[in-house]
Chains A and B, each alone.
Chain A
Amino acid sequence: MTPAAAKSGPATSDAAATAFLNARLVNPASGRDEPGGLVVREGLISDLGPHLRRNAPAGAAVIDCEGHVLAPGLIDCQVFTGDPGQEHRETLKTASFAAAAGGVTTIVCMPDTEPVIDQVALVDYVQRRARERAIVNVRIMAAATRGLKGEEMAEIGLLQRAGAIAFSNGKSSIANTRVMRNVLLYAKDFGALVVHHTEDPYLSAGAAMNSGEVATRIGLPGVNKAAETIVVERDVRLVEITGGRYHAATLSCAESLDVIRKAKARKLPVTCGVSINHLTLNENDIGPYRTFFKVRPPLRAEDDRAAMVRGLAAGDIDVIVSSHDPQDADVKRRPFAEAADGAIGLETLLAAALRLYHNDEIGLLPLLRAMTINPAKLLGLPAGRLEKGAPADLVLFDPDVPWVVDREQLRARSKNSPFDESKLQGRVLRTLVAGDTVYQYGERPRG
């Protein structure tokens, strides 16, 4: 919550402290996973470690974690809302409720709004709205080009000063190579990160899904995954000549990942992300034209999904995003090719990710690393770590408890979840932002 809320507690320092005892402290930043406890004071982590497993500081309020996992709150660097302009899909407030319920304590909002976040006044507006209404931290990824048109650079320097933490062309690629080069070159002067959706717009025009056998059988126009790799390859070449910091937003196939891996080996300032959908779903899930599985980039074949998971485990993929993209029934309940892209994911992010852990595809620490310390480092945020002095943005979760997703129970305003009716394991019990509980399992949302 806001610093103001943290300050409203009792005056004495002992009474202001809250101790989380009997926890399984999982800190991806240090690689430690051990029994212990953690003390929160004035919105920050004031102490932590095995010595706090049973004993709280005198006077502190005590919360028994019952051996559950206490980890840094998740940081989701790709969240689309409809605020401003499409509030019927999602507002900052409803997105933040969904985030809190999913253990996500920082959401990075994408510039694809109406109007596009390409001006200082809009950054100010969204930040103010978020302060007033959102219950988790909201950071802004501003537009790299005006109107996300990929033609003219946005005011990267002024937007950064206003608070934008990175620059993206949203759901579209910058097709013009010269513009992309200049964006990277210009952003470099400000140390700004350029986040790019990698999909050649000419190759992908009109495509409804991944090309291949499945698309052919069900008669849908497909796009070859090379449309992604071509852009990644081009971008890496541009990073090489400009030195700009570059992050491929959501990769979906082995070939793209290979390009990034090689770029990293050459010490280029390149990172990449993957959406939870591409780690846990594949094109076969589309089945009988289920539009909740229509996403961008499209779901790929199973071997590509497996390659994404391996890349994550190997550390080649830096971050996992929900790519939370609320779409209402009007645009989803249509023939597949005409339906909107996008899936919500904030509330199911952690549980869906834990599917990989339960399948022994990745350890808990590397899995959480991609949703905590890695995005924090990428975006220069102080959160994402269990450390004295770090913000007390925390998630307490039971990694094992099974549950079935019911989209009507989700807090997001739009209900387009590809995990509807899925059996997941792992439940968020409590979410804290700056020491304040913003979500507790079984309690109705406030506000």
Chain B
Amino acid sequence: MTIAATSSFYFPRRHLLTCEGLSAKEINSLLDLADKAAEVNRQIDKKRDVLRGRTLINLFFEVSTRTQSSFELAGKRLGADVMNMNVSTSSVQKGETLIDTAMTLNAMRPDIIVVRHHAAGAVELLSQKVDCSVINAGDGAHEHPTQALLDALTIRRAKGRLAGLTVAICGDILHSRVARSNIHVLNTLGARVRLVAPSTLLPPAADRLGAEVFTDMWEGLQGCDIVMMLRLQRERMQGAYVPSTREYYHFFGLDHDKLSRAKPDALIMHPGPMNRGVEIASAIADHSRSVIQDQVEMGVAVRMAVLEALARHLPNQ
């Protein structure tokens, strides 16, 4: 797994902030590199030195376990020094602005900052104020690029391709950065995207994003190759957007009945963490066609690929 070995590699960017605007060539370069990282990750010696001497800061303004640990592991496997900064322990709690935090961190001379923030656009704002590379690990309901890339990699490894596949993204599209990033990546790679949700969980003009919209899940899953479930946050199922957990599960939870509308070899995906019995039946989560664990594995590989791709543009002197 080195970029030198892949001559067609193309990713001329300093930051990874969005999937919108990434070309198929850029995405495929990252996925090819991630494929190799996945190989390395299955060996006993996973340690490499692409990022030796580099400092990676995980700056998380929102609580995360899997994305943060995935980046941490990716950084460490590539030889970087990794520091985790959580909002609960940072000076943000003391009233520091986002930009001041960025300037402070910048003064510590990191090479890459991975940022998650509850406000859409916050990561891009931060990227304008620092000298290092910035990776968006989720900004509000805007984007979560590495999630969409790991989803694409998981699909590509299982199906051999993305072009021509029909992917149904189901659930809380309104608040989902995962959905938005996926819509861009999947469309760029030639897949057909469907969005399946009650109208209350669909953003306005959802059909203008390059997706077909369904409010009936049985219809939405008809003949699809991939069923991608989204997490529904508990505070959103108590009557504001959806009447109850019970009703949501009945009409929008992935169970055998609804899944039977998809192709017989359809894959089941979920970005995690799952609410079993809310958006997905427990048996479905553990189904033989569920690739939810593969997604976690590919998450580390994709993040290694992204880190390595960005490291190429870091100054060497």
Residues of B within 8 Å of A185, CB to CB, are: 199-200
**In the bound complex, how far is the Cα of B202 from the Cα of A142, in angstroms?**
25
Chain A 154-190 against B: per-residue CB contact (8 Å), 1 yes, 0 no? 1111100000000000000000000100100110110
How far in angstroms is the closest Cβ of chain B from A50?
Answer: 46
8 Å CB interface, A280-320 against B? none
- The tally of residues in A whose CB lies under 8 Å from a CB in B reads 17
Closest B residue to A152 by beta carbon equals B239
Chain A 139-154 against B: per-residue CB contact (8 Å), 1 yes, 0 no? 0000001100001111
Is B96 in the interface zone, CB < 8 Å from A? no
Once the chains bind, are B246 and A158 in contact (CB under 8 Å)?
yes
How far in angstroms is the closest Cβ of chain B from A144?
Answer: 10
**In the bound complex, how far is the Cα of B247 from the Cα of A52, in angstroms?**
51
Once the chains bind, are B243 and A157 in contact (CB under 8 Å)?
yes
Is A211 in the interface zone, CB < 8 Å from B? no
Q: Known contacts A152-B239, A153-B239; is A186 also within 8 Å of B200 by CB?
A: yes
Once the chains bind, are A154 and B243 in contact (CB under 8 Å)?
yes
Q: Known contacts A158-B246, A158-B250, A186-B243; is A152 also within 8 Å of B238 by CB?
A: yes
Is B207 in the interface zone, CB < 8 Å from A? no
Specify which of B243, B246, B251 is in contact with A153 (CB 8 Å cutoff). Answer: B243
**In the bound complex, how far is the Cα of B202 from the Cα of A188, in angstroms?**
13
Once the chains bind, are A189 and B216 in contact (CB under 8 Å)?
yes
Once the chains bind, are B239 and A189 in contact (CB under 8 Å)?
no
How far in angstroms is the closest Cβ of chain A from B143?
Answer: 25
Residues of B within 8 Å of A182, CB to CB, are: 200, 240-241
Is B293 in the interface zone, CB < 8 Å from A? no
Residues of A within 8 Å of B243, CB to CB, are: 146, 152-158, 186
Q: Which of A145, A154, A155 has the most CB of B within 10 A?
A: A155
8 Å CB interface, A112-156 against B? 145-146, 151-156
Once the chains bind, are B199 and A155 in contact (CB under 8 Å)?
no
**In the bound complex, how far is the Cα of B247 from the Cα of A41, in angstroms?**
41
Residues of B within 8 Å of A2, CB to CB, are: none
**In the bound complex, how far is the Cα of B213 from the Cα of A246, in angstroms?**
23
Closest B residue to A178 by beta carbon equals B240
**In the bound complex, how far is the Cα of B239 from the Cα of A151, in angstroms?**
8
Residues of B within 8 Å of A189, CB to CB, are: 198-199, 215-216
**In the bound complex, how far is the Cα of B240 from the Cα of A152, in angstroms?**
6
Is B23 in the interface zone, CB < 8 Å from A? no
Residues of A within 8 Å of B215, CB to CB, are: 188-189
**In the bound complex, how far is the Cα of B242 from the Cα of A153, in angstroms?**
7
Is B244 in the interface zone, CB < 8 Å from A? yes
Residues of A within 8 Å of B200, CB to CB, are: 182, 185-186
How far in angstroms is the closest Cβ of chain B from A422?
Answer: 44
Is A437 in the interface zone, CB < 8 Å from B? no
**In the bound complex, how far is the Cα of B202 from the Cα of A185, in angstroms?**
10
Once the chains bind, are A146 and B199 in contact (CB under 8 Å)?
no
Once the chains bind, are B199 and A145 in contact (CB under 8 Å)?
no
**In the bound complex, how far is the Cα of B239 from the Cα of A146, in angstroms?**
8
**In the bound complex, how far is the Cα of B33 from the Cα of A388, in angstroms?**
72
B interface, CB within 8 angstroms of A:
198-200, 215-216, 238-244, 246-247, 250-251
Given contacts A153-B239, A158-B246, 16 further A-B contacts (CB under 8 A): A145-B239, A152-B243, A153-B243, A154-B243, A155-B246, A156-B247, A157-B251, A158-B243, A158-B247, A179-B240, A182-B200, A186-B199, A186-B241, A189-B198, A189-B199, A189-B215
Could you give 22 example pairs across A and B, Cβ below 8 Å? A146-B239, A152-B239, A152-B240, A152-B243, A153-B240, A154-B239, A155-B244, A156-B243, A157-B243, A157-B247, A157-B250, A158-B247, A182-B240, A182-B241, A185-B199, A185-B200, A188-B199, A188-B215, A189-B199, A189-B215, A189-B216, A242-B199
